[in-house]
Chains A and B, each alone.
Chain A
Amino acid sequence: MAANSNSADEKGAATRFVEVSRIEAGFFPFAMISPAVLLIILVIGFPLLYSLYVSFTPYELLKPNSLNFTTARALRNYQKLLNDEIFWRSLWNTILFLAVTVNLSYALSLALSQLLARVTVGQSLLRTLLMVPMMFAPILVGFQFRWFFNANVGLVNNLLISLGLIQEQGQIAWLVDVPLGMITIIIASIWMNIPVITIILLAGTLSLPSETFEAAEVDGASGWQKFRFITFPLLAPFSYIALTIMSLDIARAFDIVRIMTDGGPARRTEMLWTYITRLAIEDTKFGLGSAMAWITVILSVLFTLYFFRQLVRARIVR
């Protein structure tokens, strides 16, 4: 019964088509928003501008005098990066990681949400199980998979040996080999992403009008056809919310990479985020690190903006 009332609530929340008409209130809304905006400008906006400035200087933390701006050298950090092979490798790794993780997380969550929508036994318990990965901080996710994929004491190798699939001497170096290191990081990230996306897509699926499905059934539509031509298109706004949230949080993958491989070995899993840490924090090259940080900021913002645009568009069609 609990499961039923659950879905009824979600259905109500998502399909209540009351017109939201906003009212004019002069200066009042600005007064309500300004504390939030001021704080964001102070703690995020201003520091980012400052880091843009730093990125035009050769600043190194241990050489305080190096924080000076000269027009002639302003773009030197960016030139350095463009000629840096490791920068290009970490950029490529990041793009590869994002493309695979985002697409697979979405596809698996979509499948899982369709599966869960058909469950009749113990739905609320299943949803609690679904939320288990949400209890893990990204750093915990990284630790967990670092341990599971550990070559000597890891769960995965132990399991493969117990099942007789590999020899005791032939332990697989999951976190070291190419491309296994990347694959394990992607697996960890997908595991972390699945719950939120699935929950949103499930709520969307449960909120779809049942009349449409009944009509399609009368017309003899198959299960796949119903999914392909009804469920999937109608889920578009929910898909874009899920993707927007995922793109906002995608840099959390840094925590996972940092603890699982820290970009290694030999930079095989280096990504933009870990390379920034290496340049700025470990080598104290704040100027160069800031230049790279700005590249990631631009990429993240564009990425999020893209999904947000799609979200707005999907909303208008509906």
Chain B
Amino acid sequence: MITRSVGPNRRRNDIIWNAVAWLVLIMLALPAFWIIITAFRPNIEINTFPPVWIPRRLTLEAYANMFGLNPDVQQRVAVEAYLRNSLLAAGISTVVAVSLGTLAGYAFARFRFRFHTTLFLGIMLSRAVPGVALSLPLFLLFNRVGLVNNVLGLAIVYVAVNIPFTAWLMDGFFRQIPQELTESAYIDGCGHWSAFWRIELPLSLPGLATAAIFAFLAAWNEFQIVSVLARNNAAKTFPPGLFAFTEQFTVDWRGMAAMSVIMMIPAVIFVILVQRNLVSGLTFGAVKG
């Protein structure tokens, strides 16, 4: 912690530090708020010149158009399909990835075995493979087994892609649990599995929630693989859906902003829920061998 002695000089410095910090962070966050406001403004205010900086009127028009409540709008976005596919692909993959990643993370945190470092590094490096590079062979192979343009196929890929980070996070969380508990469980005659299942796993639930939300968001936001594997609305998720906006003749900026706001909802929940756990999970591995 930075120490702070008292004095008029210090006090003035404090005020300056606080003011600068607030200014910088408001500027950092401002673009995001601009997107949110745009989603609720009438189109005429958005496209007019000179620009209208402060909204005069708020409206739900963009959402009425999106969900087909406006009879004047012929071509509309398949937002229901995107929502369904996104929820399915992200939901299924999160459950599986967190289960498998937790098992692996526990083994790395608690046990000594051959190839410990090699396996850990190998798993982590699989995460470094760019999605574009992976999407090509997956397209060819999935094409043979009917998994192209298929939400289940997406879910399978997202499980594999999400395991490494989940394992890393869970390794960090498990190492924060005092080992005395497990040791006394062993003395009471617990096996490795029941020590894990009955004692350590319940204690790591906050960490598990963090890992789950992280995996969910990674799948929810993924673009590179889904844009190759999904051919139409049967499998397209939100990111390729948003991208499709830009391929139209005139770009509907407000429509894109409106969809962006829907896409952000899970992330907003994430920020509220797991701020603190995330930091300790990420950094614990740094200070421990």
Contact = CB atoms under 8 A, between A and B. Distances in A.
Between A16, A33, A281, A314, the greatest number of chain B beta carbons within 10 A of the residue's beta carbon is seen for A33
Given A29-B113, A315-B286, A136 B264 contact: yes
Nearest to A161: B50
B107 A32 contact: yes
Given A28-B192, A286-B140, A148 B111 contact: no
A33 B107 contact: yes
Contacts of A238: 283, 286
A144 B14 CA distance: 34
Contact of B28 (A10, A45, A194): A194
B160 A44 contact: yes
Interface in B263-284: 263-264, 267-268, 270-271, 275-276, 278-280, 282-284
Interface in A245-302: 245, 247-248, 251, 254-255, 258-259, 273, 276-277, 280-281, 286, 289-290, 293-294, 296-297, 300-301
Interface in A133-185: 133-140, 143-148, 153, 155, 158, 161-162, 168
Given A36-B167, A144-B35, A130 B25 contact: yes
Between B32, B123, B128, B192, the greatest number of chain A beta carbons within 10 A of the residue's beta carbon is seen for B128
A199 B242 contact: no
Given A47-B134, A130-B25, A136-B32, A40 B242 contact: no
A32 B103 contact: yes
A49 B21 CA distance: 49
Contact of A137 (B51, B112, B220): B220
Given A139-B239, A208-B1, A129 B25 contact: yes
Nearest to B129: A297
Interface in A43-82: 43-48, 50-51, 54
Contact of B123 (A22, A37, A240): A37
Contact of A24 (B47, B113, B129): B113
Contacts of B109: 20, 22
B34 to A, nearest CB: 7
Nearest to A201: B283
A228 interface: no
A141 to B, nearest CB: 9
Contacts of B238: 137
Interface string A1-32: 00000110111011111101111110011101
B276 A241 contact: no
Contacts of B167: 36
A107 interface: no
A125 to B, nearest CB: 9
B76 interface: no
Interface of B: 1-3, 5, 14, 17-18, 20-22, 24-26, 28-29, 31-32, 34-35, 46-47, 49-51, 53, 100-101, 103-104, 106-113, 116, 119, 121-134, 136-138, 140-141, 156-157, 159-161, 163-165, 167, 175-176, 178-179, 192-193, 220-221, 223-224, 228, 238-239, 242-243, 246, 253, 256, 260, 263-264, 267-268, 270-271, 275-276, 278-280, 282-289
Top 8 A-B pairs ranked by shortest CB distance? A137-B221, A43-B160, A13-B280, A251-B130, A293-B133, A51-B137, A47-B137, A135-B267
Interface of A: 6-7, 9-11, 13-18, 20-25, 28-30, 32-33, 35-37, 39-40, 42-48, 50-51, 54, 112, 115-122, 126-140, 143-148, 153, 155, 158, 161-162, 168, 191, 194, 199-200, 203-208, 210, 213-214, 217, 237-238, 240-241, 245, 247-248, 251, 254-255, 258-259, 273, 276-277, 280-281, 286, 289-290, 293-294, 296-297, 300-301, 303-305, 308, 311, 314-316, 318
24 contacts: A10-B283, A37-B104, A37-B119, A37-B122, A47-B137, A47-B138, A47-B141, A48-B134, A54-B137, A133-B28, A135-B268, A135-B270, A136-B32, A140-B263, A143-B260, A144-B260, A147-B253, A205-B2, A208-B1, A210-B3, A213-B3, A245-B282, A254-B130, A273-B130
